[in-house]
Amino acid sequence: MKKMSVIMLSVLMVGGCGFFDKREQKVEVNAQPATATAKVMGMNNESYGNAYFEEEGNGVKMTLALSGLPTGTHGIHIHAVGKCEPPTFESAGPHFNPTDKEHGKLNPKGYHLGDLPNLEVGQDGQVDMNFLAEGLTLDKNAANSLVAGEGTALVIHASADDYKTDPSGNSGARIACGVIQ
């Protein structure tokens, strides 16, 4: 009888441990990735739409759903301060650069984490684009976070970014801005 009790107790303990392990795994599977948004506004407070941000394994996926922008190629960057005061948007500060690099993906000395690919805006003024910005996070406790401290802003410039000239790729005036939150 004692042997039977010990065996039953062992089965319950092993089975119970397995049950709890499965519960913990289930919680992790259902965890949602961190997200943020930015309402992109123009120099006269006109709305250009939204930018959506979602944490991924090695960066932040950005989805742009914009309309009404001027036709052409425009530089777009993450700026270091979460403020968008029109008409110049200088309140957004310099490019987001927690790694202290120079500007541009083609710069041999590295690039700002806030450097993003140019926007191509067609005759209809629409932008439906998504891309991964590697090295960024939405973790509020990380130095490379878009939502830590004062936050950051998404800024669209008047001209194309040449991907190499420090500090801003000769991308011209800031024509639109959205606080990332």
98-135 confidence digits (pLDDT tens)? 988 878 788 788 788 888 999 999 999 999 999 999 99
Residue 17: phi and psi, rounded to 5, are -65, -40
Per annotation, catalytic residue among 21, 23, 74, 77: 77
Q: Is 103 a catalytic residue?
A: yes
CA–CA separation, 21 vs 31, rounded Å? 16
Q: Is 95 a catalytic residue?
A: yes
Per annotation, catalytic residue among 21, 23, 74, 115: 115
25 or 96, which is more confident? 96
4-52 confidence digits (pLDDT tens)? 444 444 444 444 444 444 444 444 455 678 999 999 999 999 999 999 9
Q: Is pLDDT of 148 > 80?
A: yes
Q: Give pLDDT, residue 30.
A: 53
Nearest 5°: CA angle at 79, between 77 and 108? 60
Confidence of residue 147 (pLDDT cuts 50, 70, 90): very high
Confidence of residue 170 (pLDDT cuts 50, 70, 90): confident
CA–CA separation, 42 vs 104, rounded Å? 24
Q: Is 77 a catalytic residue?
A: yes
Please state, for a pLDDT cut of 90, what percent of the chain lies above it: 59
What tokens were used for 117?
């690919």
Secondary structure of residue 170 in the 3-state scheme: coil
Query: Could you tell me the pTM of the whole model?
Result: 0.80
